[in-house]
Amino acid sequence: MPGAIHAEGLVKTFGDVRALDGVDLDVPEGTVLGLLGPNGAGKTTTVRCLTTLLRPDSGRAVVAGVDVLKHPDAVRRSIGLSGQFAAVDEYLTGRENLQMVGQLYQMRAKAARARATELLEQFNLADAADRPAKTYSGGMRRRLDLAAALVVSPPVMFMDEPTTGLDPRNRQQLWEVIKQLVSGGTTLLLTTQYLEEADHLAHDIAVVDHGRVIAQGTSDQLKARTGGERVEVVVHEREHITTAAEVLGGFGKGETTVEEHTRKLTVPVTGGAKLLAEVIRELDTRGIEIDDIGLRRPTLDDVFLSLTGHVAESADDEANGKEAVK
């Protein structure tokens, strides 16, 4: 039984660029899939294909049980889309924007008006409801955009980089809203460049690079692929590095790596906090003063690096670098 969002072999080319190179996805009903990847990886193109905005060159997609290519209009009735750029009319008030969207979802005028009021309350926009949206802050606009996507409480939601460009406080607020939403049973596909965001919101994460899904699984599964936990130590004195390496070597399950200039030593371990305590005791016994010590689990940054050979942000820098060379 395919999930609420299901895609098989989506391919889309723009001229010479193969934006999607066979994307396969499956999002079970009521879960959140985080589509994680750098700029230009194909995240937005995937969302555009699944939301009927773009017709893929090949492949098939089913959203909310409906074939996207065969019955796009039926799909549109069951989805909400919140874009990368807050797509609201800046000259209309928040209320007018939501009412218009409701009516275009084929709600009656009265029902659309009532729903708009409800959403403005829910999204903390009631005070600004009758002001043109151009007077809103970035965070308010983003909330209005999200509210517009939720007018008919669609069973399937798509959010394309919902928090890009928001400050940390607004991002945190939006995360809370999204969490509430999915606790109500909505299926959500969310794209993000922020590893932290995917980790925080998504049940499952699909890592995309160069138009392909290169890995999929829970955050823990992906992290496990990168290797387990490790102990990181920063010693105070440079001359203690060798001794510290000896100590860590005794506890480690693999090779100890040393960064001379930051006086940082890292070693893969098993045994968690208990082991960490032993390491600290041993270092202390040997009289090694430490600046920092910790048990680190791999981050999604590590995952990305080990999967693609480059860190998440660097795809962007690479592109910029090429531009600069020309």
**Contact residues for other proteins, defined by CB under 8 A:** 48, 51-55, 73-74, 76-77, 79, 81, 83-92, 96, 100-101, 103-109, 111, 132, 148, 152
Helices (H), 194-236: 195-201, 219-225
Partners of residue 67 on adjacent β-strands: 62
- Taking the complex as a whole, the smallest distance from the CB of residue 109 to other proteins amounts, in Å, to 6
- Taking the complex as a whole, the smallest distance from the CB of residue 171 to other proteins amounts, in Å, to 20
- Taking the complex as a whole, the smallest distance from the CB of residue 179 to other proteins amounts, in Å, to 23
Alpha-carbon span 310 to 37, nearest angstrom? 11
Instruction: Identify which of residues 73 and 239 has a Cβ nearer to other proteins in the complex.
Output: 73
Instruction: Identify which of residues 109 and 277 has a Cβ nearer to other proteins in the complex.
Output: 109
- Taking the complex as a whole, the smallest distance from the CB of residue 119 to other proteins amounts, in Å, to 15
Side-chain-facing half-sphere of 58: CA atoms under 13 Å: 4
Maximal C-alpha separation, the chain: 77
How many other C-beta atoms lie within 10 A of the C-beta of residue 298? Answer: 18
Instruction: Identify which of residues 151 and 288 has a Cβ nearer to other proteins in the complex.
Output: 151
User: What is the DSSP-derived secondary structure letter of residue 300?
Assistant: H
Instruction: Identify which of residues 86 and 178 has a Cβ nearer to other proteins in the complex.
Output: 86
Instruction: Identify which of residues 105 and 194 has a Cβ nearer to other proteins in the complex.
Output: 105
- Taking the complex as a whole, the smallest distance from the CB of residue 46 to other proteins amounts, in Å, to 14
Instruction: Identify which of residues 110 and 274 has a Cβ nearer to other proteins in the complex.
Output: 110
- Taking the complex as a whole, the smallest distance from the CB of residue 120 to other proteins amounts, in Å, to 17
Side-chain-facing half-sphere of 325: CA atoms under 13 Å: 6
Rounded (10°) angle between helices 138-149 and 94-104? 20
> For residue 206, what are its two tokens?
């699909």
Instruction: Identify which of residues 84 and 257 has a Cβ nearer to other proteins in the complex.
Output: 84
**Encoded amino acid at 289, one letter:** E
70 φ, ψ (degrees, to nearest 5): -85, -40
Closest CA to 34 of 205, 161, 150: 205
Alpha-carbon span 323 to 326, nearest angstrom? 5
